[in-house]
Amino acid sequence: MYLIVRNPADDIYAATPDYVHAMEVRHPQRFLFVSGTMGLDKTGVPGTDLDAQLALIWSNLERILAEAEMTTSNIVRLTSYLRDASYVEANQNARLAALGSRRIPTTAIVVATLSDDWLVEIEIIAAA
């Protein structure tokens, strides 16, 4: 599999340092589409605050990826659903910590979550 970042240099706004406009995936053997994942522990209880929920989300995503014999290195697309716009920076920092130097196409959307104590939900697409 080959990943090619697609960031046009003209006639479009510049991508910021924390994401790319597009990621071309060449010759993948398989894709993994992961449902929105919440910051819930193994008993279904949400983390007590935003940082706890973000840590649980990334732990849960790593576990789901491992089930498919993948890691965060296989993530090629990410969408975050935030209960409040003020969560953008914490969400970005958690994503950057989880992905290291890798930059992928990402979108953050402010929404009313299904439960008031769910502060953020993240869905991903991974390829291998």
Q: E-strand spans in the chain?
A: 2-6, 22-26, 31-38, 75-82, 106-110, 120-127
Q: Residue 36 carries which side chain, given as an amino acid letter?
A: G
Coil, strand or helix at 42: coil
pLDDT confidence tier of residue 128, bands split at 50, 70 and 90: very high
Predicted TM-score (pTM) of this structure: 0.95
Q: What is the pLDDT of residues 78-123, one digit of tens each?
A: 999 999 999 999 999 999 999 999 999 999 999 998 899 999 999 9
Count of Cβ atoms closer than 10 Å to residue 24 Cβ: 10
Domains in the chain and their CATH numbers?
35-127 (3.30.1330.40)
Cα 42 versus chain centre, distance: 20
pLDDT (tens digit per residue) in 63-83 = 999 999 999 999 999 999 999
